[in-house]
Amino acid sequence: MQNKTDEAIAAMVQSGDLESFSFLVERYENKIKRYARKFMTNAEDIKDITQDIFIKTYTNIKSFDVDKKFSSWIYRIAHNELINALKKKERNPLLFFDADTLFPHPISREETDKKTIRDEIKKSINKCLDEIPLKYREPLVLFYIEGLNYGEIADVMRVPVSTVGVRLKRGRRMLKAICDNLNINYER
């Protein structure tokens, strides 16, 4: 089972091998918890939402197209669950027509940061992320921590690829400003 791809395991679950689902839980539990931790602080809430995400993944697994990437799909489910949970908590509905998604942006090229720079930003994100608004926080987490590319982030958040680029750029700028305020070293 170790050699099988996520998509192959998902196909097995779809065809009735229900126990194989445990391998997907095993592979994604830490990732989903880490992702949820960037939006929530309460350990119980994180545990509950992680469980909800896996239950939703299982109940909807027959809608998953095995020719596509499983990671993008499960992060999409996690995104929806987290956004819904935050909406309930903060009573702050997200607008459909966000100005960032409305118009084209010139900054759409995917940035290929060197590994050392990425590691530095990753460290900064862990220290300063809480202060950053959700719409900039999420692409930072997905790109620098979860390792998704622009296209995959666009699929998870259902926003244009160029918007991902713009939000990452603004997010990094905010991150730098916050880290500077907190006297935390930020290399970029």
Partner 1 sequence: MNDKHSLKEEILNKIKHDEIKMKPKIHYVLRIIAFIFFMILFFVGIVYFLSFIFFVVFKMNSGSALVGFGFRGVETIFFSLPWALILVVLVFVIIFEIMLARFKFAYRRPVIYSLLGIIILFFVLSFCVHRTSFHTNLFMLNKEGGLPAIGPLYETYEHVDFRNVYCGIVTDVNENGFEIQWIDNPDIEFEVSVPPDFIKHKDLNTGDVVILIGERNDTVISLVDLTKIDSEDFCIHRGNIRLK
> Which residues are near partner 1 by CB under 8 A?
13-14, 18-19, 21-22, 25-26, 29-30, 47, 50-51, 54-55, 58-63, 96-97, 101-105, 151, 154-155, 158-163
Considering beta carbons, is residue 47 or 87 the nearer one to partner 1?
Answer: 47
CA distance 133 to 169: 13
Q: Which of 150, 130, 128 is nearest to 139 (CA)?
A: 150
Q: How far is the CB of 95 from partner 1 (least distance, A)?
A: 11
Considering beta carbons, is residue 124 or 162 the nearer one to partner 1?
Answer: 162
Q: How far is the CB of 179 from partner 1 (least distance, A)?
A: 31
Contacts with 6 (C-beta within 8 Å, 6 or more apart), sequence order: 24, 27, 69, 70, 71
Considering beta carbons, is residue 8 or 18 the nearer one to partner 1?
Answer: 18
CA distances from 43 to 52, 141, 161 (A): 14, 19, 32
What phi and psi, each to the nearest 5 degrees, are found at residue 30? Answer: -65, -40
**What's the CA angle centered on 156, arms 152 and 160, to 5 degrees?**
75
Q: How far is the CB of 84 from partner 1 (least distance, A)?
A: 17
Label residue 35 exposed, middle or buried (CB < 10 Å: 0-12, 13-18, 19+). buried
Q: How far is the CB of 117 from partner 1 (least distance, A)?
A: 27
Considering beta carbons, is residue 7 or 29 the nearer one to partner 1?
Answer: 29
Q: How far is the CB of 156 from partner 1 (least distance, A)?
A: 11
Considering beta carbons, is residue 26 or 119 the nearer one to partner 1?
Answer: 26
